[in-house]
Structure 1
Amino acid sequence: MSIRVPFTGGEKESLHAALDRHRDAVLWKTEGLDDEQLRRPMTPSGTNLLGLVKHLGGAELGWFRETFGRDTGPLPFDIDADETSDMRVEPHESTADILEFYARARAGADEVIRELALEELGTSWSGNSVTLRWVLIHMTTETARHAGHLDILRELIDCGTGDHNRS
């Protein structure tokens, strides 16, 4: 059963639940596949399921942790040296490494969400002042967008579709 956004919940609770719903869909799209399937380039640019998970982990740490002056911990890429390194899974990185990175990123983002008010201001990577509310909305749409990409890639691999396990 997937997470439901509460019909009458508060704003912060509802935004967080919406993000979690899409995060769970991202993980569900990786379940039951072997390492080759998770790493298989499915587009001319090389996009693959595991690379999208890695990218989303980096986005969570950047938007929630870095924006609000929190430590991100070690990152498995160097975006300054190579702007696509967050989308690429290196041969030495295991599936477990990437899934652990995403779990750490989610936990770090959740800590910020719990501790800060929606109106709290942070500074984005581009230098703009943004509220936690804006970051929650941005990351929910970013995660939903990539969950859609994951859905298409998964369908191309094994015909699996949907945004959550219906069993």
Structure 2
Amino acid sequence: MTWTAPRIERRRAPSAAGERAMLQGWLDFHRDTLLTKCAGLTGEQLARAGTPPSALTLLGLVRHMAYVERVWFRQRFAGEAVEALHCTEAAPDADFDDLDPARAEADHAALIAEIAACDAVAADRDLDETFTATNGRTLNLRWVYVHMIEEYARHNGHADLLRETLDGETGS
């Protein structure tokens, strides 16, 4: 049986909430939006580039966001000694380039697991807690949330176009 990405119940972004709930709510909404754009597609479809000459794929976006979640929340903010997902110094774009439709289910599950791990790392931490980024800048957890919302929002625009090209499905 061919695996297809499962349908999920996309959470609504909050319309009135405190700062922490607002940031978490918008991040969850955008995370769910990417997974919604993948729902119902097979690994082969997820790995198919939709808009030549670009090689961008939905599976590449899933892998990239798992990588970015881990880097910002777990490695940089929390200082966890966990390996980067997919990418290495020798293959810095492996999240986008090293695609295998047969691994799509595992890649999808890796994003969901990484989201849970990142939420656990940030759950009881203060938004004002700082860390030093690789470029020497001092950033705080609030910055990570805003950056991740921006990262997902930008890539969800790509996901909209990719999904429409694959099967004509559009949506918010």
TM over 0.5: yes
Match of 1:147 in 2: 156
| Residue pair 1:62, 1:72 contacting (<8 A) in 2 also | no
The whole-number CA distance in structure 2 between the counterparts of 1:142 and 1:71 is 21
| Residue pair 2:132, 2:139 contacting (<8 A) in 1 also | yes
The whole-number CA distance in structure 2 between the counterparts of 1:76 and 1:93 is 17
- Per the normalisation by structure 1, the TM-score is 0.88
Q: 2:120 aligns with which of 106, 111, 114?
A: 111
| Residue pair 1:15, 1:137 contacting (<8 A) in 2 also | yes
- Worse-matched range after superposition: 101-110 or 124-133: 124-133
The whole-number CA distance in structure 2 between the counterparts of 1:156 and 1:92 is 18
Paired AA for residue 44 in structure 1: P
- Worse-matched range after superposition: 17-26 or 37-46: 37-46
Q: 1:5 aligns with which of 7, 10, 13?
A: 13
The whole-number CA distance in structure 1 between the counterparts of 2:141 and 2:45 is 36
Q: 1:28 aligns with which of 27, 36, 39?
A: 36
Where does 1:130-141 land on structure 2 (aligned, <5 Å)?
130-141=139-150
1:45-99 deviation line (CA, Å, top 9, x unaligned): 3111101110011001101111123436444423321221121243386111101
- Worse-matched range after superposition: 149-158 or 42-51: 42-51
Deviation at 1:22, TM superposition (A): 0.6
Aligned residues: CA RMSD = 1.9
1:109-163 deviation line (CA, Å, top 9, x unaligned): 1112212110010222333211100110000010011011011100001111113
Aligned residues: 163
Q: 1:41 aligns with which of 49, 65, 81?
A: 49
Where does structure 1 differ by over 4 angstroms across 4 or more consecutive aligned residues?
Answer: none
Query: Which runs of 5 or more structure 1 residues have no equivalent in the other structure?
Result: none
Shift of the 161–92 alpha-carbon distance from structure 1 to 2, 3 Å rule, reads closer
Q: 2:97 aligns with which of 80, 85, 88?
A: 88
- Per the normalisation by structure 2, the TM-score is 0.86
| Residue pair 1:65, 1:112 contacting (<8 A) in 2 also | yes
